[in-house]
Amino acid sequence: LCQRSLLAAGSDDQRAEAFALEARSLIEDGQLDAYATSALEIAISARTLLRHGQWDDARRQLTIAQRLAPGLTHAIPWLSGQVRLELTRAYVTLRDRDGAQDHLAEAEEILRVRPDLGVLGEQAAELQGEADAMRHTSTGSNSGLTGAELRLLPLLTTHLSFREIGERLFVSRNTIKTQAISVYRKLGVSSRSDAISRADELGLVDGAAQPAPPIITRVQSAAS
């Protein structure tokens, strides 16, 4: 199921997510979370959770996968390489340059010892390009998008103004504007629409404009 999910994702097949969720369910039902061979499914599950904005659950899954990864060496090169590349993709999605580079370095070490892994080498090269792009567009901290910035991203896909977003998150318009600018910088873009497009490419949001989420009390406000 993991391999079917990866193949489907590579061709933008919507079944990729269903395969990933089914694989995760099998792991949980079988209580296989402690086995290194479950690391690939768990890493894929983390990326699915990121897509749905479940940041805390995604990070927990990433932590589990990272704990299991050392049990996978070049002795089982294909699985070991795939796990490192999926972890790299997750950290690229989170715009965490250091995390992405660490896992990519492990993947490249496996490829150095076992260079005959076909498409994995190509994928590693593509991810290196993503990591290099982050290096060129980011300044300051390399820790990636913060929790506040991740919460903001789905709201940026709506037609809400910064002031209206602030009302939903119980912060000021200026705070939202500052967070948005930080998001733009980390994504390497300069506008809200470009940030939405880039976040959609990374699997952080659904790029289509979404209706504003309901709130208990909505305060009348002017557009930002």
**10 Å Cβ neighbour count for 164?**
22
Classify residue 223 by burial, with Cβ atoms within 10 Å: 0-12, 13-18, 19+: exposed
Instruction: Report CA dihedral (199, 67, 98, 58) to the nearest 10 degrees.
Output: 20
Confirm if 152 and 165 have CB atoms less than 8 A apart: yes
| Cα-Cα-Cα-Cα dihedral sign, residues 97, 135, 78, 201 | positive
What average pLDDT does the chain have?
80
Residue closest to 146 by CA, chosen among 103, 185, 106, 189: 185
Instruction: Report CA dihedral (140, 206, 166, 213) to the nearest 10 degrees.
Output: -160
CATH number belonging to domain 147-202: 1.10.10.10
**pLDDT tens digits, the chain, 224 residues: what are they?**
455 555 545 555 456 566 556 655 666 665 556 678 888 888 988 888 887 778 888 888 899 999 999 999 988 999 999 999 999 999 998 888 888 999 999 999 999 999 999 899 999 999 999 888 876 555 444 457 888 888 899 999 999 999 999 999 999 999 999 999 999 988 888 999 999 998 888 878 865 545 454 443 333 333 44
140: left (phi over 0), alpha (psi -120 to 50) or beta: left
- Domain chopping of the chain, boundaries: 2-137, 147-202
Distances (CA, A) of 48 to 15, 56, 59, 190: 12, 12, 11, 27
CATH number belonging to domain 2-137: 1.25.40
What is the Cα–Cα distance from 183 to 148, expressed in whole angstroms? 10
- pTM of the prediction? 0.66
